[in-house]
Structure formats: C-alpha cells, structure tokens
Amino acid sequence: MLCIVYSSTAERSFDDIDLAQLLAQSRATNEAHGLTGLLVHRQGRFLQLIEGEDADVRERMAAILADDRHGRISTLMEEHITERQFPDWTMGMAKYDARVAERIPGYRDTFDDLQGERPDDAIRPALLELIRWFQEDTGRLS
C-alpha cells in the first residue's frame, strides 16, 4: 500500500458549505476506490493524507493534480505502508479554531514553509506527529 501526504493552495475561497461538499465528494470517490485519509484546510491551504493500494493512490493524485481547485501542489511525503493509519475514514476532515490548533504538537500558523519542491528533514517528523495527533484525538474531526 502507498501513503502520500501533499499540501496545496486553494485556488478560490472555501466556506463551510464548499468544504462540506468537497468532503462529501472526497468520501464518495475514496470509498469507491478503497482509499482512506485525512484532509486539513486552514487559511486557504490544504494538507491531505491519502492511503490505499498504489495504483488507486496514484490515480487519485493524478486527479488532484488536474483539479483546478488546487494550486502549488507539493508532495511532502510518499512511502509504502503495511497498514493504514486511518482505516475507518474514507476521508476525515479537520475543522478547528485557533484555541484547538494551539494544542496540536508542532502547531504552526501557516503552511508557507511547505512550499518547496521537496520537504526538508524537519517536515517529516512534524507530519508524523500531526498524523498521530489526529489518530488519537478523533473528537476534533467532523
């Protein structure tokens, strides 16, 4: 199985209704292709983890790359996994305010430093910590 984490900029504003529609669409698509994962949206930026069979994940990433809602897409982590990190989530959506965000280990106000072609060695541990936080604290997901 393959796990990819990417960041992108939203090419237009997303309000709560837009995000709910995106989440519903993502869940339906992911369920049809056996994909699971997590989507974070904050201040016009997306951070997404997608996991599943290699071909399915790559096909989904190709669709995301062609999606005009995303700009400046950067793959932050790509690795083969033996088990899913979010096995029961066709797509978990993180929605939080600043008070909740400040309790996340490694909290950052922006994702601006994730813009580079390839992440530096400091980003991988931060991504893994963020993933663990969401796995353990599902009460913050809607």
Strand partners, 92: 38
21-25, 70-74, 107-111, 130-134, range with the lowest pLDDT:
107-111
Q: 4 or 112: whose pLDDT is higher? A: 4
Residue 137 has what pLDDT? 57
Q: What is the 3-state secondary structure (H, E, C) of the chain?
A: CEEEEEEEEECCCCCHHHHHHHHHHHHHHHHHHCCEEEEEEECCEEEEEEEECHHHHHHHHHHHHHCCCEEEEEEEEEEECCCCCCCCCCCEEECCCHHHHCCCCCCCCCCHHHCCCCCCCCHHHHHHHHHHHHHHCHHHEC
Count up the domains in the chain and report the number. 1
Range of the domain at 49: 2-140
47-51, 107-111, 118-122, range with the lowest pLDDT:
107-111
- pTM for this model (two decimals): 0.73
Phi and psi at 119, nearest 5°, equal -70, 150
Q: 30 or 139: whose pLDDT is higher? A: 30
Joined together, the tokens standing for residue 22 give 């995106």
For 12-41, how does the pLDDT look when each residue is reduced to its tens digit (9 = 90+)? 887 878 888 888 888 889 999 999 988 887
* CATH code of the domain covering residue 9: 3.30.70.100
- Residue 98 — pLDDT band, cuts 50, 70, 90? low
Mean pLDDT, range 117-138, rounded to an integer: 61
